[in-house]
Amino acid sequence: MIEIDGLTKTFGRATVVEAVSLAIGAGEAVALWGENGAGKTTIIRCVLGLLRYRGSIRIAGLDAWRDGKRARQLVGYVPQELGFYDDLRVHEAVRFFGKLKGLRINDVDESLARVGLGGHGGKSIRQLSGGMKQRLALSIALLADPPVLVLDEVTASLDACGRAEFVELLASLTKSPGRATLFASHRVEEIDVLASRVVTLQRGRVTSDVDAADFVRRVGARNVLHVFLRGDRVTDALEVLNTSGISARRNGRGIFIAAEPAGRARALHRLEQADIRVEDFEIVPAPAAKETTP
């Protein structure tokens, strides 16, 4: 569905993507993984036909640059930064972007209900939370039921609860046997839920292309879940986790939890059951154990 062959992109004398080749078939979800500046967003912009490049990109057989308009009609795209008009009502935004895509939207409510925004069509966009705006963007991306979905760090601006809910929604909508998904992420938990393969980038080059389950096991083994809580709940949280057999230790107003991705989800669930609110969380390299003196 997406074929990238020898993709190279330079800005002036700087080469930001070099000789990248990968293919994404129908039913596959491929994650681009790498630190900031690795080339993830540049690859996505090239796939969308927004940047000139050397090499070849084809979407369902169409050249992404030479036949960009037709190729983009096959792609649903959700960016990291949203550009909605805040004064528009939600249902007006859906119709507006539908017209830009050349679509006739017969049932706006159905499109919104699909992403959990049923009953919110009459609200102005400024009334929506960050997570609801991302749902609206996803609704618009899926209007034509495109065979290709492209997502660029779409949960980066969301809080912990919003991220979990949005990833769950994506999982239900993107795992279609006929759809190819390309997304950039720096969160292992998202890759664990959404990806079938992971392409790792370093300084614009592909350093590995592996099965998502293998990637999560490898990365998860050397990373921990860092959970941020209200300061007065840290002690309670440690007690809840340790009595549940979950290895955890304090770090300021947060807690390091060492576990595989499934174990991390269990830890978050136990905290929720104990009515301990998680303000945010992230996956970070496991800190070195502190040495103790005899």
Tens digits of per-residue pLDDT, 33-82?
Answer: 998 889 999 999 999 999 999 999 999 999 999 999 999 999 999 988 88
| Residues 123, 74: Cα–Cα separation, whole Å | 29
Higher pLDDT, 245 or 284: 245
Q: What is the mean pLDDT of the chain?
A: 87
Reduce the DSSP state of residue 247 to 3 states and report it.
Answer: coil
pLDDT tens per residue, range 203-227? 999 999 999 988 887 776 667 888 8
In a domain, 292, yes or no: no
For the four alpha carbons of 133, 137, 140 and 144, in that order, the dihedral sign comes to negative
Q: For 232, which DSSP code?
A: G
Q: Are residues 133 and 181 in the same domain?
A: yes
| Residue ending a domain, choose from 195, 219, 243 | 219
Domain that holds residue 267: 223-285
Is 294 among the domain residues?
A: no
* Whether 99 and 153 share a structural domain: yes
Residue 283 has pLDDT above 80, yes or no: no
pLDDT tens readout for residues 123-173: 999 999 888 999 999 999 999 889 999 999 888 877 766 777 888 888 887
> Both 117 and 67 in a single domain?
yes
Lowest mean pLDDT among 15-29, 61-75, 117-131, 276-290: 276-290
Residue 139: CATH number of its domain: 3.40.50.300
Residue 19 and residue 4 in contact, taking contact as beta carbons nearer than 8 Å? no
For the purposes of burial, counting CB atoms within 10 Å of the CB of 275, is it exposed (0-12), middle (13-18) or buried (19 or more)? exposed
pLDDT number for residue 93: 93
119 lies in the same domain as 196: yes
Give yes or no for residue 174 having a pLDDT over 80: no
Does residue 156 lie within any of the structural domains?
yes
What's 237's domain CATH number? Answer: 3.30.70.980
pLDDT at 294 over 60: no
Q: Do 243 and 120 sit in the same domain of this protein?
A: no
Say if 264 falls within a structural domain: yes
Q: How far is CA 247 from CA 199, 204, 244, 258, 269, in A?
A: 30, 37, 9, 6, 15
Whether 10 and 39 have beta carbons less than 8 Å apart is answered as no
Q: Is residue 73 part of a domain?
A: yes
Query: In a 3-state reduction of DSSP, which class is residue 217?
Result: helix
| Residue at 262 is within a domain | yes
pLDDT of 67 reads: 93
CB 226 within 8 A of CB 284: yes
Domain count, the chain: 2
Look at residue 291 and tell me if it is in a domain. no
